[in-house]
Amino acid sequence: MNVALAMLLDALLGEPKWLWDRVPHPAVLIGRAISYLEVRLNSGKDRRAKGMLLVAGLTLGAWIIGAIFAGLGPIAEILIGAVLIAQRSLADHVADVSRALRLSLGDGRMMVARIVGRDVKALDRSGVARGAIESSAENLSDGVVAPVFWFALLGLPGLLTYKAINTADSMIGYRTPRYEAFGWAAARLDDLVNWPAARLTAILIAAAHLRPDAMRLAARDAALHRSPNAGWPEAAMASVLGVALSGPRSYDGQMRDEPYVNPEGRRDVGPDDIDAAVSGLWRTWALTLVFVVLWGVIA
């Protein structure tokens, strides 16, 4: 039941600014460790091997720290679990884009830039809305369902290890001259640990909306996405909302002609669709909570 209580605590409190203004968030501490090691290891020969060494040390350290904190008892597990589950903050950030877009396109661009990595200066109204909805679906998987999955399966050590891997991928798992070799292990391991959650998230989205056909569309369109995992929740969300997601977008000034997910869906997307996505986040969260409680009873 610790997992369910952590989910409820996160939903209630989210990311309290007063706390993280005073002490560093665990993800920040993980990020600092990665930055420290990257600067010292990512040079010279054998960068891939050095990156593998970083990931091995990081995951081992995260597992040990998780085991130590788990030994402090259920209150520590619940508190740390709530910090590492991101449902409330995700829903709030996506809803902020909807409110900003209703004020002006410029406000919408500024707000969506907080949660997407693409260039936002040239986004139109639909582009801003699509970006917010895509981010909601992808982060529902790796910010909520995956942490809950590994927490329920392997306890606090599993949750903290997952978070370390996911943070490493977000920092060094890029196909750039600097990181392509060094970040290879982080990117591949992140793909692996997110594989079950991405597909589970698509199932949960479809079930929460009573739309079994959404899984058929997710299975059809997931491979169109550049990520081996993100296409599953995005395609499921696109289906239940009746919109087309992904498609052409710009990164670092270069336009990428990527295919649409659910191409038959509406392409005129706006704040109302973002609101529907936020509602979908909470419906999916609620269904996840039900399964977590059942898992706790059975286990």
Nearest 10 degrees: Cα torsion 288, 292, 298, 299: 140
CA dist., res. 231 & res. 66, Å (int): 30
pLDDT value for 144: 97
pLDDT higher at 116 or 147: 147
Main-chain dihedrals φ then ψ at residue 261, nearest 5 degrees:
-95, 130
Task: Give the DSSP per-residue string, the chain.
Answer: -HHHHHHHHHHHH-S-HHHHTTS--HHHHHHHHHHHHHHHHSSSS-HHHHHHHHHHHHHHHHHHHHHHHHTT-HHHHHHHHHHH--HHHHHHHHHHHHHHHHH-HHHHHHHHTTT--S--TT--HHHHHHHHHHHHHHHHIIIIIHHHHHHHHHHHHHHHHHHHHHHHHHHH---STTTTTTTHHHHHHHHHHHHHHHHHHHHHHHHHTT-THHHHHHHHHGGGSSSTTTHHHHHHHHHHHTB-EE-SEEETTEEE-PPEESTTSBS---HHHHHHHHHHHHHHHHHHHHHHHHHHHH-
Identity at 12, one-letter amino acid code: L
CA dist., res. 178 & res. 280, Å (int): 38
Encode pLDDT of 25-54 as tens digits: 888 999 999 999 999 999 888 999 999 999
CA dist., res. 14 & res. 295, Å (int): 24
CA dist., res. 156 & res. 63, Å (int): 8
By percentage, how much of the chain surpasses pLDDT 90? Answer: 79
At residue 253 the predicted structure's pLDDT band, cuts being 50, 70 and 90, is low
CA dist., res. 249 & res. 219, Å (int): 23
Which distant-in-sequence residues (6+ apart) come within 8 Å of 277 by Cβ? 94, 132, 133, 136, 137, 237, 241
What does the block give as tokens for 166? 């996911």
Compute the average pLDDT of residues 132-160.
Answer: 96
Compute the average pLDDT of residues 271-275.
Answer: 97
pLDDT value for 126: 94
Instruction: Name 255's bridge partners.
Output: 250
Evaluated on CA atoms 29, 32, 37, 42, the torsion sign reads positive
Which distant-in-sequence residues (6+ apart) come within 8 Å of 71 by Cβ? none
CA dist., res. 72 & res. 81, Å (int): 13
pLDDT value for 61: 96
pTM: predicted TM-score of the whole model, two decimal places? 0.93
pLDDT value for 41: 92
CA dist., res. 137 & res. 146, Å (int): 12
Instruction: Name 249's bridge partners.
Output: 256
CA dist., res. 250 & res. 253, Å (int): 6
Q: Which one, of 204, 229, 232, lies nearest residue 217 by Cα?
A: 232
pLDDT value for 15: 84
